[in-house]
Copies of this chain bind each other. A is one copy, B any other.
Amino acid sequence: MKMTDSINKLAHKFSTLPGVGAKTAMRYAYAVIGMSEADVEEFCKAMLDVKHNVRYCEKCGNFTESDVCDICRKRPSDVICVVTYPKDVAAMEKSHSFHGVYHVLHGTISPLEGRGADDIRVKELLARLDGVKEVILATNPDVEGEATAMYIARLIKPLGIKVTRLAQGISMGSDIEYADEVTLSRALESRVEL
């Protein structure tokens, strides 16, 4: 769409956000025009604040605004849950079921894309294992996530630490009719006695 230069430029910026196409970007740009100047300034401040204040926790690699994140500071560190990205920490926390600390890998091992174990935070994980009783591997149940979990398990198990993986099975509220065959076969293998 042909608009004034400033509007086109802003729409282009919005289109760099994930999942935002040209039309949505233009819609967002219109919304900015409709905001009060104070609102736009606050919006900008919020963006710059995030960029300036947010960094990675020295211990776990999660987002934090101090050197060590709240979770690392307040919780017992004898159980570590290993996740791929900071957003996975947020998802786990929403379940209110885990009360230990996290370790964020910031990626998966992916030979196809040329990412090896040195490109993710595996070394940092190994350096944290003193006194740890259990490492829960909560990488995604896809090829890369599985490979990464297997790799880490092979490193940690010999140290005598319990290594577990999130259970796989059919999800809550899903329909067995539509479950894929791999998921169903795993759910069957891991069936539990009632």
Contact = CB atoms under 8 A, between A and B. Distances in A.
A33 B3 contact: no
A41 B42 CA distance: 14
A49 B18 contact: no
Contact of A48 (B1, B17, B41, B86): B41
Looking at chain A's contact residues, is the secondary structure mostly helix, strand, loop, or mixed?
Answer: helix
A19 B13 contact: no
Interface string A83-112: 000110011011000000000000000000
Given A13-B43, A47-B40, A50-B10, A63 B31 contact: no
A17 B33 CA distance: 11
A46 B19 CA distance: 20
B51 A2 contact: no
A126 interface: no
A19 B21 CA distance: 13
B54 A47 contact: no
Interface in A17-50: 17-19, 24, 26-33, 35, 37, 39-44, 46-50
Given A1-B90, A87-B30, A90-B2, A50 B18 contact: no
Interface residues of A, number: 49
29 contacts: A1-B87, A1-B90, A1-B91, A1-B93, A2-B90, A4-B53, A5-B65, A6-B53, A7-B63, A9-B46, A9-B49, A10-B46, A10-B47, A12-B46, A13-B42, A13-B43, A13-B46, A13-B47, A18-B31, A19-B27, A26-B90, A30-B86, A30-B87, A32-B51, A33-B51, A40-B50, A43-B47, A44-B44, A44-B47
Interface of A: 1-7, 9-10, 12-13, 16-19, 24, 26-33, 35, 37, 39-44, 46-51, 53-54, 63-65, 86-87, 90-91, 93-94
